[in-house]
Chain A
Amino acid sequence: MIEQTAPIAESTYRELLSGLQAILADEELVIEPERLRVFECDALTAYRRMPKVAALPRTEGQVQRILKLCDRLQVPVVTRGAGTGLSGGALPHSAGLLLVMSRFDRILEIDPVRMLARVQPGVRNAAVSEAAASHRLFYAPDPSSQIACSIGGNIAENAGGIHCLKYGLTHNNVASIRALTVEGEVLTLGTEALENAGPEYRSMLIGSEGMLAAVTEITLRLLPLPVETRTLLAGFDSVADASAAVKGIIAAGMVPAALEMLDATTVAAVSEYCNCGYPPTAAAVLLADVDGAPAVATADAEQLTGIFRDCGATSVSVATDASERARLWLGRKSAFPALGRITPDYYCIDGSIPRGEIGAVLADIEKLSKDAGILVANVFHAGDGNLHPIILFDAGKAGEIDRVEALAGRILERCIAAGGSITGEHGVGVEKIDQMATQFTDAEIAQFLAVKAALDPNGILNPGKGVPSLRRCQEYRALKKHSEGAA
């Protein structure tokens, strides 16, 4: 649901344009619809909207002046990184400005002694690890979109990745952030030192979906590259067995670097799509990395193999050399394109649950999927309890999108009921804004709104995203009650 907004007044628009022309060079300002078209959506393509203008500044000074100008004219600002977001966070505002950060693309410094990388927000995630590799260091959070997504977008979404189980999420790997409030104030949050002093404002900004400030520079913590990695693949006859293995691994006190699950639908699709060596008829596979010093990696691989077998794995293989490991990971990494071949459209959900609940929640998702008559595939970060149910559908069918949205809503509510969250890493954006009313009370929502108002009193930054108004919460809850009563 996109909230309706009033169009920008003609006089405001003229003032905005002349203001922007004073700040930006011609080629840094986009107003022609045909050139704005590339910005109309992020990776949640079901939502599209054209911005009024797009600015592509190169300096922090320009960003500061743009923000102040928009704040004065009360023109909405949506910041955009690489546009790979999956919750519509970078969806433009039709009466607003799109602040495109892609030209902030420089790695300013790699400091091997302090193990820090100072980067601009438009730098691609993978580029940081590439630049640090010669020092035997890397930047750990590795979203599957890492060749494209930007560090600024990672900060805004608190992005996770395959190896976050051992190495942490974005928020665990950020030293400091430089950002601008909409009033043009410079914030430097966090520290290069190993501990922050004072309240965790750095954490408050991470995951704030471009609603509190525009990030202009980030100092990331780097970690020593794993010396040795073993990749394990285990096939299972049932999702329940695979889920029990996940639970067993955590309970045994193991910390694999990665632990991913693919269900039967996904395994079949990737086995068709690429030569990844998965047992093609398995009901579920688990894919894990264990890493560290050679002796540790070897011991962990043995322990993990034991747990897989104890939990009824029908096959376990261990890959040591790089090409074998890459082949096993190819299946996981091909999951989205492979599923894309068996369905006209798909929609990826992002629920987070306790790891011990995976089996029960997946069983219920299957039931919900059957009831709705819509297929759901699962490929996800099992070790973190971060589900990614993928709804396979055909947007061409009448009414299908509404049924898909309803199914997605029910799946998220099931995650909340399991003690979880409506989003583990993709953010709320426009997509999950209604379910915020289920996860949070009015007092909690009001507190979020008060924090937002403290930094952005005119509500200029990314309006209509992330945190719903109290009225919207009440309407949603009433609607839900009504439809539950009817069912």
Chain B
Amino acid sequence: MIELSAVEQQLVAQVQEAHQGGQRLTVGGGGTRAFLGAAPQATRMDTRANSGIIALRESERTLTVRAATSLIEIESVLEQAGLQIACGLPALQPESTVGGAVSAGMAGPGRVSGGDIKDQLLGAVLVNGRGEPLRFGGDVMKNVAGYDLARLPVGAFGDLGLLLQLTLKLQPRTRAETSLHTGMGWEQGQELIRSLQLENYPLLASAYEDGNWILRLGCERAQLPQPLQGAGEQPAQYWRDLRDQRTAFHNGPGNLWRIVLPQGAPLLAHGEEPLVAEWHGALQWLRSDRPASEIFAAAAAAGGHARLFRSELAGLCSRPDAGTQTLHRKIKTALDPHGVFVAGPGNLFAEGGEA
């Protein structure tokens, strides 16, 4: 049986009431997106009290937390234990929560070495639209009993249920670390990255800005190949600022797009449009005032998808195909037959998604 705290029991009761009374709820995490508003006719469900670490099992390298635990708190606890969440979870605001980060499904710079958000997730307690708390997955590395409904809510923006608890896989911090700005442009840097990959250098993250590739490696500089010996040092703090978007670029004027692509994708900036890339070029942050339809088309042509991240229109995103939309309707009904949960803004299936 699942042990629920008093706060969790209240949240469950709130969902049950909504199920019976025909109300609709939009789950709020840290509420950092609150200004985007709740969906029409939905009440914002305040989950902030459902916070705290349930178990940090250092010797198992797993962490079980309540969903509204702040990312900052998690990070500082893990830091003390010499552990981390491999992909990095962007803490865009001090209030950002782990439940919000998992529901948004957007990984930090560590994606290229540590996997995406679903790769960090081992288990979840999810409250479905009937107000039933359900445990899927677990605290173990491998578990294939039943359908994988633990990872299903990743990227669902709260549309498929309320997450109460999450179990995440942890990774040891590397023994040594070196961050360098290579002085190399787009193509030359990508070639270098490719050869570092093939030579198995521990490449933790990469970023491209101002026409220059910056690399983060999990080893001493002395262990790096010749072309990198003379490269300039980059402060390690850079990666956290990048992850949490505390940069002049991310906070500049105009529409900010987040474009996710396959490895090896071309640069999507036109002319002088400001762009910062991560993930060896597979994540491109683009400041552009081109029409949304043009950005969506460019992302799709390169095998990826785009989301308008910062603008009055934030939330616009590439539309899933018809098959996925039908699938989503069916699975949504299976989990939430009365449609209690209304996804937060930015979800893929929102009306008027793609322009």
Q: Does A293 contact B (CB under 8 A)?
A: yes
State which of A164, A212, A355 has its C-beta within 8 Å of the C-beta of B60: A355
B108-157: which residues lie under 8 A (CB-CB) from chain A? 111-112, 115-119, 128, 132-136, 138-149, 151-156
Q: Does A207 contact B (CB under 8 A)?
A: yes
Please, which residue of chain A has its CB at the minimum distance from the CB of B1? A441
| Alpha-carbon gap, A443 to B134, bound state (A) | 7
Q: Does B197 contact A (CB under 8 A)?
A: yes
Q: Does B47 contact A (CB under 8 A)?
A: no
Contact with A along B288-329 (1 / 0, CB 8 A): 000000000000000111010000000001101101101110
Which residues of A are found within 8 Å of B326, using beta-carbon distances?
Answer: 185
Docked-complex contact A385 and B155, CB < 8 angstroms: no
Number of A-B contacts (CB under 8 A): 266
Docked-complex contact B260 and A352, CB < 8 angstroms: no
Docked-complex contact A354 and B147, CB < 8 angstroms: no
State which of B136, B141, B260 has its C-beta within 8 Å of the C-beta of A384: B141
State which of B139, B197, B282 has its C-beta within 8 Å of the C-beta of A419: B139
Q: Does A169 contact B (CB under 8 A)?
A: yes
Contact with B along A402-419 (1 / 0, CB 8 A): 000000000000000001
**Partner-binding segment picked from A48-56, A250-258, A311-319:** A250-258
Which residues of B are found within 8 Å of A463, using beta-carbon distances?
Answer: none
Contact with B along A142-176 (1 / 0, CB 8 A): 00000000000000011010001100110110000
| Alpha-carbon gap, A278 to B126, bound state (A) | 47
Docked-complex contact A420 and B140, CB < 8 angstroms: yes
Docked-complex contact B60 and A250, CB < 8 angstroms: yes
**Partner-binding segment picked from B93-101, B227-235, B261-269:** B261-269
Given known contacts A114-B264, A292-B202, A455-B330, A194 and B282 CB-to-CB distance under 8 angstroms: yes
Min C-beta distance of B203 to chain A, whole Å: 10
Docked-complex contact B331 and A203, CB < 8 angstroms: no
Q: Does B351 contact A (CB under 8 A)?
A: no
State which of A250, A254, A352, A432 has its C-beta within 8 Å of the C-beta of B143: A352
Docked-complex contact A197 and B263, CB < 8 angstroms: no
Docked-complex contact B149 and A451, CB < 8 angstroms: yes
Which residues of B are found within 8 Å of A188, using beta-carbon distances?
Answer: 321, 323-324
Docked-complex contact B264 and A195, CB < 8 angstroms: no
| Alpha-carbon gap, A411 to B206, bound state (A) | 46
Q: Does A231 contact B (CB under 8 A)?
A: no
Docked-complex contact A354 and B57, CB < 8 angstroms: yes
Docked-complex contact B141 and A206, CB < 8 angstroms: no
Docked-complex contact A226 and B200, CB < 8 angstroms: yes
Give the number of chain A interface residues (Cβ < 8 Å).
88
Q: Does B107 contact A (CB under 8 A)?
A: yes
Q: Does B210 contact A (CB under 8 A)?
A: no
State which of A168, A251, A386 has its C-beta within 8 Å of the C-beta of B119: A168
| Alpha-carbon gap, A212 to B149, bound state (A) | 13
State which of B58, B116, B134, B223 has its C-beta within 8 Å of the C-beta of A447: B134
Given known contacts A384-B142, A450-B335, A212 and B147 CB-to-CB distance under 8 angstroms: yes
From A198, A444, A450, name the one whose CB has the most chain B CB atoms within 10 angstroms: A198
State which of B106, B142, B197 has its C-beta within 8 Å of the C-beta of A160: B142
Which residues of A are found within 8 Å of B139, using beta-carbon distances?
Answer: 354, 419
Which residues of A are found within 8 Å of B257, using beta-carbon distances?
Answer: none
Min C-beta distance of B128 to chain A, whole Å: 6
Which residues of B are found within 8 Å of A194, using beta-carbon distances?
Answer: 111-112, 116, 260-263, 279, 282-283
Docked-complex contact B82 and A253, CB < 8 angstroms: yes
Give the number of chain B interface residues (Cβ < 8 Å).
85
Min C-beta distance of B160 to chain A, whole Å: 6
Docked-complex contact A136 and B148, CB < 8 angstroms: no
State which of B59, B115, B328, B331 has its C-beta within 8 Å of the C-beta of A250: B59
Given known contacts A204-B147, A224-B197, A293-B202, A115 and B263 CB-to-CB distance under 8 angstroms: yes
Docked-complex contact A448 and B201, CB < 8 angstroms: no
Contact with B along A226-251 (1 / 0, CB 8 A): 11100000000000000000010011
Docked-complex contact B149 and A421, CB < 8 angstroms: no
Q: Does A125 contact B (CB under 8 A)?
A: no
Which residues of B are found within 8 Å of A187, using beta-carbon distances?
Answer: 323-324, 327
Min C-beta distance of B85 to chain A, whole Å: 14
Min C-beta distance of A374 to chain B, whole Å: 24
Q: Does B61 contact A (CB under 8 A)?
A: yes
Which residues of B are found within 8 Å of A165, using beta-carbon distances?
Answer: 141
Which residues of B are found within 8 Å of A386, using beta-carbon distances?
Answer: 141-142
Given known contacts A199-B156, A450-B334, A425 and B142 CB-to-CB distance under 8 angstroms: yes
Contact with A along B170-190 (1 / 0, CB 8 A): 011100000000000000000
Q: Does B219 contact A (CB under 8 A)?
A: yes
Docked-complex contact B128 and A296, CB < 8 angstroms: no
State which of A203, A425, A441 has its C-beta within 8 Å of the C-beta of B151: A203
Name A's B-contacting residues (CB within 8 A): 113-116, 136, 157-158, 160, 164-165, 168-169, 171-172, 185-189, 191-201, 203-204, 206-208, 212, 224-228, 247, 250-251, 253-255, 291-293, 295-296, 352-356, 381, 384-386, 419-428, 432, 436, 439-441, 443-444, 447-448, 450-455, 466-467
Name B's A-contacting residues (CB within 8 A): 1, 57-62, 82-83, 105-107, 111-112, 115-119, 128, 132-136, 138-149, 151-156, 159-160, 171-173, 197-202, 219, 223, 260-264, 279, 282-283, 303-305, 307, 317-318, 320-321, 323-324, 326-328, 330-331, 333-335, 347-349
Chosen A-B contacts, 25 in total, with CB atoms closer than 8 Å, are: A116-B262, A168-B119, A187-B327, A194-B111, A194-B260, A196-B105, A196-B116, A198-B320, A199-B153, A199-B160, A224-B198, A250-B60, A253-B83, A385-B141, A420-B138, A420-B143, A421-B138, A424-B143, A425-B142, A426-B144, A436-B145, A444-B146, A451-B331, A455-B327, A466-B146
Could you list 12 further interchain pairs (A-B, Cβ under 8 angstroms) beyond the known A188-B323, A195-B105, A201-B324? A114-B264, A115-B263, A185-B326, A187-B324, A198-B105, A198-B347, A200-B105, A295-B223, A296-B219, A384-B141, A385-B140, A385-B142
